[in-house]
Structure 1
Amino acid sequence: MAPSKDRQRKLARAKFDRQMARKAVRERKRRRVLAGVGTGLAVLLVAVGGAWIGGAFDSKDTTSTAAADICLWSPSDTSANKDLKDVGTPPTKDLPQTGTEAMTITTSLGAPITATLDVASATCAAASFSYLAGKQFFDNTDCFEILDIGAVHCGDPSGTGQGGPAYSFYDENTPAAAPQPSASAATAAKPAVLYPSGTVATFGNPPGSNGSQFLIFFKDYAPTTDPIYSIVGQVTGGLDTLAKIGKIPTVTDDAGDKVKPKEKITIKSLTVAADTVAAAPSASVQS
């Protein structure tokens, strides 16, 4: 006998209630699982945060504590320029950046010329001089030009003006150009002396690309255009020798320029050492 409609409704209702009960049980289980995951995630985040604060995730890369590069030495192509001499490169790190160093140049013309290198203002130039001096790079080389700006040009073993080490470095201490005079004062104004007598400066070829070449000024130089020589130091002794160099007549070189010293100027040795007390020059040198 077929069940009555009331019985059918009761059975359907009971089935529905059982389904809802099972669904409620599943929902409670799901919430407990999510609650557990949430608690575990919260604990993990707290732990990670504490570890981060404590430095657990700090980089272990040794470069983070390694000394930073102070000077960068740009390689030069020795195959393209046979006048370059490869003696390696100076260090890039742990270089002196304060104080001064004493440079001594013994020449064929008299008492040694001494100079103070300004390590603070020309750190890389001083480092290069010191490195090359340690390699005897300048020894038994000639100062091959006397320029009409009142400076002797040295530091190229090839004597061509194209030579140097197999690296270069940028300017560090080029003096600022003097302000241009007003139109009304142009006729009376004189250029400022930016390279006093006794100044030691690097000579880049091209300008701004320095190697081993350098100038020593034997008279004040007031450039009429933007200065291009980076100052590295100042002569402190041997001024009589420097004055003697300034009086050497010049003859025409192979390029047709009247800059070649008529008398040979040979650097017998050039050394650089720590300078604890810098002596003051006794007099200015004028041509």
Structure 2
Amino acid sequence: MPSNEQRREAAKRKLERQLANRAERARKRRIFGVVFTVAGVVAVVGVIYWLANIGDDGDTPTDAAAQQSTEPEVKPDIPASIPTELAPAPKRPTPLPAKATCAYPASAEPAAKPAQLPPTADISAEGTVGASIAMAAGEVKVTLDRALAPCTVNSFVSLAKQGYFNDTTCHRLTTEGLQVLQCGDPSGSGNGGPGYSFDDEVFPELKYGRGILAMANSGKNPETNKGTNGSQFFIVYGTAATLPPDYTAFGTLDADSVKKIDEIAKAGTISQGNPGDGKPTNPVKITGVTIAG
């Protein structure tokens, strides 16, 4: 018959075996748990990948940036149509005297780019001056008409010879109702000028249309009742029937040159406030203006 000591030793060994068996079973459960977890993760990743690529033939890469963007695409406003016939060149019903005296008083706004004042005395009001506006779209040829607006032509020629228009942008394009490209502001804001202003050279019979070159302005100066012309000008490439005769026309473009403006207009404008009125979709840069002679 086993003694008490022997029984205690036997019980101790039995307990040790039970503990060892329990530890082994726990170790196996952990191994199985890890295996099952890894297998589950792999399966989930596989399902996500399959869902993400369902319908993808493998030939077209996914544009991640396009998928992540939630902003709606802004479509440019493009002209519904553009007339092809050039407007008649404006003519004054009563010719001006052969010589003009011009005034270029300082404007309230500082110059967007340094510029010297044009000459003011004995300015010719006869004949024409050829000019070439160099743009990325190509060379735009214009004929400046002194008989229409001698002081305006005088200012434009002076600024061009000073390089004032070099490396400036055309900041405005309109495509509905009024179809023009506006340029001549070195700041690109639509508010810049040469630091001086001059009066309008208009007449009641003045009309605008395709191929006409005219000055932009901000209306009459309320203090002096004089015009607010500076350096900004616009090219009419299409319709302009809504314009009153308040904008000095001072030249014309030839047919091929206006077609180059058409291509700029067909790319459209990103409207800013009014439909069909904003910055050109494709930036339009003037690299320089050359005066013939």
Q: TM-score, normalised by structure 1?
A: 0.60
Query: Aligned partners of 2:150, 2:141: CA distance in 1, in Å?
Result: 19
1:154 matched residue in structure 2: 183
1:56 matched residue in structure 2: none
Amino acid at match of 1:195: Y
Please report how far the alpha carbon of residue 267 of structure 1 lies from its aligned counterpart in structure 2 after TM superposition: 0.5
User: SS in structure 2 opposite 1:243?
Assistant: helix
2:283 aligned with 1:270? no
Change (3 A) 1:74 1:154: same
1:123 matched residue in structure 2: 150
Among 224, 239, 252, which residue is 1:234 paired with? 252
Q: Is the 8 A contact 2:200 2:248 kept in 1?
A: yes
Query: Aligned partners of 2:274, 2:244: CA distance in 1, in Å?
Result: 25
Please report how far the alpha carbon of residue 142 of structure 1 lies from its aligned counterpart in structure 2 after TM superposition: 0.5
Q: Is the 8 A contact 2:149 2:249 kept in 1?
A: yes
Query: Aligned partners of 1:82, 1:251: CA distance in 2, in Å?
Result: 28
1:212 matched residue in structure 2: 231
2:196 matched residue in structure 1: 167
Query: Aligned partners of 1:132, 1:87: CA distance in 2, in Å?
Result: 7
User: SS in structure 2 opposite 1:204?
Assistant: coil
Please report how far the alpha carbon of residue 95 of structure 1 lies from its aligned counterpart in structure 2 after TM superposition: 2.2
1:51 matched residue in structure 2: none
Map 1:1-287 to 2 at 5 A: 70-77=101-108, 81-82=109-110, 84-109=112-137, 111-147=138-174, 148=176, 149-176=178-205, 194-206=207-219, 208-223=227-242, 226-236=244-254, 237-253=256-272, 258-274=277-293
Q: Percent identity?
A: 33
Unaligned runs of 5+ in 1: 1-67, 178-193, 275-287
Query: Aligned partners of 1:245, 1:174: CA distance in 2, in Å?
Result: 30
Unaligned runs of 5+ in 2: 1-98, 221-226
Q: Which moved more, 1:243-252 or 1:209-218?
A: 243-252
Please report how far the alpha carbon of residue 104 of structure 1 lies from its aligned counterpart in structure 2 after TM superposition: 0.6
Query: Aligned partners of 1:239, 1:226: CA distance in 2, in Å?
Result: 22
| Count of matched residue positions in the alignment of Structure 1 and Structure 2 | 185
Please report how far the alpha carbon of residue 248 of structure 1 lies from its aligned counterpart in structure 2 after TM superposition: 2.2
Q: TM-score, normalised by structure 2?
A: 0.58
Query: Alignment RMSD, CA only?
Result: 2.1
Q: Is the 8 A contact 2:165 2:288 kept in 1?
A: yes
User: SS in structure 2 opposite 1:125?
Assistant: helix
Amino acid at match of 2:219: P
Query: Aligned partners of 1:83, 1:171: CA distance in 2, in Å?
Result: 20
Query: Aligned partners of 1:252, 1:239: CA distance in 2, in Å?
Result: 22
Amino acid at match of 1:159: G
User: SS in structure 2 opposite 1:168?
Assistant: coil
Q: Is the 8 A contact 1:200 1:235 kept in 2?
A: yes
